[in-house]
Amino acid sequence: MTMDTALLWMLAALNLVPGIVALRPARAETLYGIALDGPALALAMRHRAVLLALVGVLLALAALDPAWLPAAVLVAGVSKLSFVGLFLTTGPHGAPMRRIALADAGALAALGGVIALRFA
């Protein structure tokens, strides 16, 4: 397995893990430090989980077939950059959100690595 493919699989896993919240909403407290107190918040977080899982599926497709790479990089990049940007411009935030922002910043660096490796 090449380094760029390994990075894509790692990024896919990073996005698939939050998908657990779609099926087990109580896990939101563990992952995000957020108690889903009401049905509206639970719905929003479960929907977010589905969207992140779809980003993970797209990254996995890109790991399997290079034709998916442009779409995967664009969607994952927008997802990660938007969270980091919102994190930096709002707050204060607790440790769980800081951990997610750092993971997303690392994911952006990994996406840059994938692009560099694929087009070098």
* pLDDT at site 35: 86
Measure Cα distances from 37 to 30, 34, 45, 108, 118 in Å: 14, 9, 11, 31, 44
pLDDT digits (tens, 9 = 90+) for 10-40: 999 999 998 999 898 888 888 888 888 889 9
* pLDDT tens over the chain, length 120 residues: 899 999 999 999 999 998 999 898 888 888 888 888 889 988 998 999 999 999 999 999 999 999 999 999 999 999 999 999 999 999 899 898 999 999 999 999 999 999 999 988
Give pTM, 2 decimals: 0.90
Give percent of the chain above pLDDT 70: 100
- The whole domain housing 69 covers 3-119
The domain total for the chain is: 1
Q: Are 109 and 76 within 8 A, CB to CB?
A: no
